[in-house]
Structure 1
Amino acid sequence: MMHKTDCELVHDYIKGKESALEALLHRHKIRVFNYINRKVNNPELAEDLFQDVFIKVILTLKEGKYNEEGKFLPWVLRISHNLIVDHFRISNKAKFVNETSSQNEDYNVFDFVKVSEHSIEDLMINDQIVSDLKKLVETLPEDQREVLELRFYKGLSFKEIAEETNVGINTALGRMRYAIINLRKIIELKNIAFL
């Protein structure tokens, strides 16, 4: 299978040949991981982002939304870049308060405090979306729900999830993939719109 082009492997995978994705992953994993790691300079974070990249690749291929024939690696690197940007955007938003102290002070001084830019209405809508999403997550099979909750609510890496649930990392990734696919099916079936 190593002699096939990326394009041929993508088509094989879309037709249901799971080993084609493994071949693509094997062919490009070092380059993609190194690209991510150079940007984030943190191997553990790079591993998490790498796994997120391939979940996005899998979902896009399964949904039939991939249309960049012959440009698989640049497409994966663009997904990687976007997820890296998203990660830093989210982590910067999470740093609401930066504390500093000098030798002459007995207490910390807040450099700045982020004031919420959202109205009460926005916050209420967001709370409702979170509530609705939690109800949808509860409808998933237990193994899928567990992986999704550990990843998104507890922020565990897939390596940590695999250890916590006593399964292999590929099984954890697969469960996440099916959880997301099933959530999308439920959302489409019930015609739910998340802003």
Structure 2
Amino acid sequence: MKLEQKTDRELIRLYVSGNEAGLEGLIDRYKSKIYTSIYLLVKDEYLAEDIFQDTFIKVINTLREGRYNDEGKFLPWVVRIAHNLVIDHYRKERRAPTVVNADGFDIFDILHFADESMESRMIREQTYKDLRKMIQLLPDDQKEVLIMRHYGEMSFKEIADVTEVSINTALGRMRYALNNLRKMMYGKELAVRIG
């Protein structure tokens, strides 16, 4: 069975049993969503890469120590780790002007980016860029819920727990975020048609 066909649980078992391919499979499966969820919070490519690496260092340590609670919710768990690292970064930044670097482990050494046609990549990148710009215009509380829900695939209960609000508040923020994005997209379409 190919790595892409294995479940998260199977890939985790593979990695814990000593096969690095299990971790590679998990990273390949989720790197885009995890990186994007971090980038949208920090708005800095290099910082996002650092936090992405730190996130996987924590994931690796937790898996190796056998402390991962296998609930079949790998992606929300990793996004929660990343979100906490983003919060930690900003807390440290307020106290000290320096950013602590990772311990030399480069997670990007094992990433393999799929080849795609230049045209489809350019269209995809422009669409993502436009959407990221619109997401950045949202109020922070709406942006946070949208990122956790869409990129982190977290449930509203998980989002409510992480952000320390009620489920209804999390749902309301998501509804406002989507409404605001719709208005922005509609405004952009009008500008393109008129312009």
When normalised by structure 2's length, the TM-score is: 0.50
**Preserved CA contact (<8 Å) 1:60 1:66:** yes
- Distance in 2 separating the partners of 1:156 and 1:66: 21
Which structure: larger Rg? 1
The equivalent position to 1:88 in structure 2, one of 90, 106, 129, is: 90
Gaps of 5+ in 1: 96-150, 163-167, 172-195
More strand as a share of residues: 1
**Preserved CA contact (<8 Å) 2:54 2:102:** no
Match of 2:109 in 1: 170
1:12 Cα deviation (Å)? 1.1
1:93 Cα deviation (Å)? 1.1
Match of 2:60 in 1: 58
**Preserved CA contact (<8 Å) 2:12 2:23:** yes
| Gap change, CA 1:81 and 1:41, over 3 Å in 2 | same
The equivalent position to 1:31 in structure 2, one of 24, 33, 42, is: 33
**Preserved CA contact (<8 Å) 1:48 1:157:** no
More helix as a share of residues: 2
- Distance in 2 separating the partners of 1:9 and 1:92: 38
1:157 Cα deviation (Å)? 8.7
**Preserved CA contact (<8 Å) 2:16 2:63:** yes
Where 1:2 maps in the other structure, the secondary structure is helix
**Preserved CA contact (<8 Å) 1:53 1:80:** yes
The equivalent position to 1:40 in structure 2, one of 39, 42, 45, is: 42
1:60 Cα deviation (Å)? 0.4
Match of 1:14 in 2: 16
**Preserved CA contact (<8 Å) 1:36 1:46:** yes
- Distance in 2 separating the partners of 1:7 and 1:30: 19
- Is 1:69 aligned with 2:8? no
1:45 Cα deviation (Å)? 0.3
- Distance in 2 separating the partners of 1:15 and 1:69: 18
Q: Deviations over 1:62-83 (max 9, x none)?
A: 0000013210000000000010
Q: Which amino acid in structure 2 is aligned with residue 45 of structure 1?
A: L
RMSD over aligned CA atoms reads 2.5
When normalised by structure 1's length, the TM-score is: 0.50
How many residues align? The count is 107
Q: Which amino acid in structure 2 is aligned with residue 170 of structure 1?
A: D
